[in-house]
Amino acid sequence: MPDLRLHLQHITKRYPSVVANDDVSLAVAPGEIHSVLGENGAGKSTLMKIIYGSVKPDQGDIFFNGQRVQVRNPQEARRLGISMVFQHFSLFDTLTVAQNVWLGLDKSLSLDQVSQRIAAKAQDYGLDIDPLRPVHTLSVGEMQRVEIIRALLTEPQLLILDEPTSVLTPQAVERLFVVLKQLAQEGCSILYISHKLHEIRALCTACTVLRGGRVTGVCDPREESNASLSRWMIGAEPAPLNHQPNSPGETRLAVAGLSLAREDQFGVDLSDIRMHVRAGEVVGIAGVSGNGQRELLFALSGEDTRAEPSSIELQGQAVGQQGPQARRAMGLHFVPEERLGRGAVPGLSLAQNLLLTRQDAITPSGWIRPRVLAQQAQAVIERFQVKAGGPQAVAKSLSGGNLQKFIVGREVSAQPAVLIVSQPTWGVDVGASAQIRGEILALRNAGCAVLVVSEELDELFEICDRLHVIAKGRLSPSIDRAQATVAQIGEWMSGLWEVADAAA
């Protein structure tokens, strides 16, 4: 079909334990913003990687601008005019932002020219980033910006975005949508993967739905509701959350006067952080990525032990200079924002990954009980409906959303006294998001103290009892969820809570 930008015909990709794509056909016109919708493990990311040349299909044909093509690798894809922003980033930690971007561009450009182009694109699109910063100093949200800018610098004819807004603020999402709509008006086609149904309805002009690796339907999302899109995707609507009033108990986690200098020049100083989380409540921290969330979470989890001992108290004991293992023994469990590398070891099995935070399958003499470990992993897989090839499946073989479900399930099932969760539903489909949020509320109702750090305001308003905002390393006072508004939290993200307090 010569009038199509992209036409997939009968694409099939099999793996030993699953058929990821089963006879998939897809058509995208020039200037079209086309969503590919499906639950975790439905085959969306595999299909995108086939288009981008990083995965080879077993069967099927790819037509680009009316010509049959074989995209053997990402370099060929970029030469054709195809760029992709992956859900799991492909950045070298030890290189700067500019050096990472330069690797994928025409080497006729100097590194200084690339730095200038990055700065210009960042300003044009509201994606603030310093080209000279090493990637290892970036938050997940800032890494997302680098990936988006790198793709835009190639001036693509087809731009593939896999969960591009998962760690962007609502204001940044709005700016990104303006950019994407402008690109579409200029003739660029966009393939857009997201689990945020309201985004798909607001942005996309067409939608292909996958379930179990097969196409189950094509629709215009602008004519659908969130409920009808959920039914297309998972066959049902997610069960509503039951957030009942609760009477909090004793303080389980207390932070008072926590100040920490940044460990590198691109970090954020923490200044006089004060907060507490009580048994039976969920406290949320909102904020734009890169405002001190990473530094605060490192201090709370025990990965940074430079704090004054009494500035962090766990169950009434000073733990500011205790490491993660000591805090875990006191009932603190932690879900980091980086799934692969910190939340899970990519090359280890799901059962083996339990050992990162769970010690109950180890005998007093130090022997690991593999059968017990496998049973525990299987229990998490079943309870959280993780699509995986069993307890021995390696972590990197799971889709991003399914790995997130496993990591959250691993920590929730440990029955923690205090649970700290960063970005709990990043890249997770609507059904799994509802399940994870429901499990967090169930923990809270059972008496756990839960701290949630998220850039999803809707999520925080849905599950939290109280809210803070972090901005430039400072933490706002808490506000009851019932009294907070999205507009107010948005203002506080700029550090304006003192102005609001003075006006009150």
Residue 184 has pLDDT above 90, yes or no: yes
Is there a single domain that holds both residue 396 and residue 421?
Answer: no
CA–CA distance, 174 with 104 (Å, rounded to integer): 27
Residue 469 has pLDDT above 80, yes or no: yes
Is there a single domain that holds both residue 48 and residue 170?
Answer: yes
Q: Can you give the length of the chain in residues? A: 504
Q: What tens digit of pLDDT does each residue of 82-94 get?
A: 999 887 777 898 9
Backbone phi, psi, residue 102, to 5°: -60, -35
Is there a single domain that holds both residue 73 and residue 196?
Answer: yes
Is there a single domain that holds both residue 93 and residue 140?
Answer: yes
Residue 210 has pLDDT above 60, yes or no: yes
Which residue carries 């935070």 as its tokens? 357
Q: What percent of the chain has pLDDT over 90?
A: 62
Domain boundary among 391, 415, 439: 415
Average pLDDT value for the chain? 90
Residue 484 has pLDDT above 50, yes or no: yes
Is there a single domain that holds both residue 291 and residue 388?
Answer: no
Cα-only R_g, the chain: 23
Domain boundary among 190, 207, 234: 234
473 part of a folded domain: yes
Structural domain harbouring 162: 6-234
Looking at residue 166, what is its pLDDT?
Answer: 65
Taking residues 451-456, report their average pLDDT: 91
Residue 445 has pLDDT above 50, yes or no: yes
Is there a single domain that holds both residue 94 and residue 188?
Answer: yes
Specify the number of domains making up the chain.
Answer: 3
CB 282 within 8 A of CB 478: no
Looking at residue 372, what is its pLDDT?
Answer: 93
Is there a single domain that holds both residue 313 and residue 199?
Answer: no
Looking at residue 347, what is its pLDDT?
Answer: 93
CA dihedral 393, 395, 399, 403 (to 10 degrees): 110
Is there a single domain that holds both residue 410 and residue 460?
Answer: no
CA–CA distance, 30 with 66 (Å, rounded to integer): 11
For residue 430, the one-letter residue type is: V
Q: What percent of the chain has pLDDT over 70?
A: 96
Residue 79 has pLDDT above 50, yes or no: yes
239 part of a folded domain: no
Q: What tens digit of pLDDT does each residue of 340-374 get?
A: 888 999 999 999 999 988 888 888 898 999 999 99
Is there a single domain that holds both residue 26 and residue 154?
Answer: yes
Q: Which residue has the higher pLDDT, 245 or 440?
A: 440
Taking residues 487-502, report their average pLDDT: 76
Is there a single domain that holds both residue 359 and residue 222?
Answer: no
Taking residues 43-58, report their average pLDDT: 93
DSSP 307: S
Report H helices in 340-449: 350-353, 370-383, 400-412, 430-445
Helix, strand, coil shares of the chain, percent, nearest 5, are 35, 25, 40
Specify the pairing of strand 281-286 against strand 466-471: parallel
Is there a single domain that holds both residue 206 and residue 94?
Answer: yes
Residue 502 has pLDDT above 50, yes or no: no
Residue 430 has pLDDT above 70, yes or no: yes
Residue 169 has pLDDT above 70, yes or no: no
Residue 115 has pLDDT above 90, yes or no: yes
Q: What tens digit of pLDDT does each residue of 148-159 get?
A: 888 888 889 999
Residue 134 has pLDDT above 80, yes or no: yes
> CATH no. for residue 273?
3.40.50.300
Looking at residue 426, what is its pLDDT?
Answer: 79
Domain boundary among 216, 234, 252: 234
